[in-house]
Amino acid sequence: MTTLHQEHPSHTHVHGPGCGHTEVPHGDHVDYAHNGHLHREHSGHWDECEPGGHTAHEDHGHQHGEACGHESVLHGDHVDYLHDGHRHAAHDGHWDDH
């Protein structure tokens, strides 16, 4: 899965530990959930960190929800759940890796 490079040009807030936004581990970096978007620092600016394709999480038997024990993160028009270093989102009867 590729990640689109979409700069967030008007982002003046500096994310980091203790900034008040949820930290989301994502591969080799950390994203920060902010106003329904996921931001990452990249080459001196902040990017929207969004997947560039659809990746189903195969064999995911766990059902996420309010009391599932995993942290939830608002992401656009849906909620992702942080689970085993991934963000899972419900999609057409299965879970996607975001």
Q: Quick check: helix, strand or coil at residue 15?
A: coil
Q: What share of the chain is helix, strand, coil (3-state, %, to 5)?
A: 0, 50, 50
pTM for the predicted model, two decimal places: 0.62
How remote is the C-alpha of 21 from its chain's centroid?
12
Model pLDDT, residue 54: 67
Q: How many Cβ atoms are within 10 Å of 55's Cβ, its own excluded?
A: 13
Of residues 5, 24, 17, the one with CA closest to residue 70 = 24
Q: What is the pLDDT of residues 69-90, one digit of tens each?
A: 888 888 778 888 887 777 788 8
Model pLDDT, residue 1: 45
Listed as ranges, residues in the chain with pLDDT below 70 are 1-11, 51-54, 98
